[in-house]
């Protein structure tokens, strides 16, 4: 356990400094005489919705696999064109061969898949709507929605992450790549909801189903949006591991620990020792 000192501003100069950097406090590691900043990054609502969405998405993908098996069990009789890569009658490869379902024991569970999918989809939708409404009314959308420079910045961040550029990403809450990716996921969620409803009630919502190009096309969109979710999830986990524990901790407790701005010999007024692991 390292002892650190918490800075609590109480005079005018400290108050003005604190107001210029909302959500940022400074602490000093007594053992090394260095200063760190403890910065508030993610609100409680954002953290709850983030972690609630993860198991919901897992259940939706799992139940979706159970549903899709029923339409792919007979290779020659019912070769659905959604879950394959090809063009026209030519198929390069199928995404879910028989060994995939046999290995994961996913066969013969259509009713179970439908039940899980139709039940948890409402929680998935409500969580997504709550997230969008929160970002709008809290003003966090201003940091999340891409700007004109975000797409160029996203390319620069990608090149840096691949080791092809030494230009460091900007130190903001969300850089350009994150803005594009996270906003894209929100749009994907809306697309999954609309295409899912078109598949769920194709007769009652025939206008929506028709606008999407019909039942089969709605299934096509719904399936490949799911594949995009899986791709985003894999990249997201890799980026979290690459960023390290500090970034992950911010999504758990809301705070991020950063290098401080005070020099080693600067004094911190009204010192109080706190323990940090």
The angle subtended at Cα 134 by Cα 231 and Cα 250, nearest 5°, is 60
Average pLDDT of every residue of the chain: 78
Q: What is the mean pLDDT of residues 43-69?
A: 91
**pLDDT at res. 72:** 60
Q: Where are the domains of the chain?
A: 44-257
Least-confidence region, from 6-20, 83-97, 163-177: 6-20
Least confident of 56-60, 85-89, 225-229, 252-256: 85-89
More confident residue, 88 or 56: 56
Helices 215-243, 44-69: axis angle to 10 degrees equals 130
The pTM score is 0.73
Mind giving me the DSSP string for 185-245?
HHHHHHHHHHHHHHHHSTTTTHHHHHHTTSHHHHHHHHHHHHHHHHHHHHHHHHHHHHH-H
Fold of 44-257: Fumarate Reductase Cytochrome B subunit (1.20.950)
pLDDT at 33: 57
What is the pLDDT at residue 50? 93
What is the pLDDT, as a whole number, of residue 138? 92
Task: Name the one residue in this structure whose structure tokens are 């760190």.
Answer: 36
The CA–CA distances, whole Å, from 145 to 47, 117, 178, 180, 186 equal 18, 30, 10, 7, 10
Please classify residue 166 by burial: count the beta carbons closer than 10 Å to its beta carbon, then call 0-12 exposed, 13-18 middle and 19+ buried.
exposed
């Amino acid at each position: 356990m390292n002892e650190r000192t918490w800075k609590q501003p109480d005079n005018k100069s400290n108050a003005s400094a604190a107001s210029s950097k909302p959500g940022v406090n400074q602490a000093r590691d007594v053992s090394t005489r260095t200063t760190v900043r403890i910065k508030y990054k993610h609100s409680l609502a954002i953290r709850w919705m983030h972690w609630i969405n993860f198991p919901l998405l897992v259940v939706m993908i799992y139940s979706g696999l159970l549903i899709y098996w029923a339409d792919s069990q007979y290779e020659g009789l019912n070769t659905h064109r959604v879950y394959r890569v090809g063009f026209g009658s030519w198929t390069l490869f199928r995404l879910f061969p028989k060994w995939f379902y046999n290995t994961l024991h996913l066969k013969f569970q259509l009713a179970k898949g439908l039940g899980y999918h139709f039940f948890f989809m409402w929680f998935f939708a409500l969580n997504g709507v709550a997230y969008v409404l929160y970002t709008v009314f809290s003003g966090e959308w201003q940091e999340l929605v891409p700007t004109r420079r975000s797409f160029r910045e996203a390319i620069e961040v990608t090149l840096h992450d691949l080791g092809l550029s030494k230009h460091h990403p900007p130190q903001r809450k969300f850089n350009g790549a994150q803005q594009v990716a996270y906003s894209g996921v929100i749009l994907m969620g809306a697309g999954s909801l609309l295409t899912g409803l078109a598949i769920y009630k194709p007769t009652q919502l025939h206008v929506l189903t028709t606008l999407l190009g019909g039942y089969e096309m709605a299934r096509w969109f719904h399936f490949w949006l799911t594949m995009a979710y899986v791709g985003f999830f894999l990249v997201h986990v890799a980026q979290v591991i690459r960023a390290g524990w500090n970034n992950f901790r911010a999504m758990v407790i809301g705070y991020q620990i950063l290098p401080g701005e005070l020099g080693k010999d600067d004094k911190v007024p009204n010192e109080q020792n706190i323990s940090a692991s």
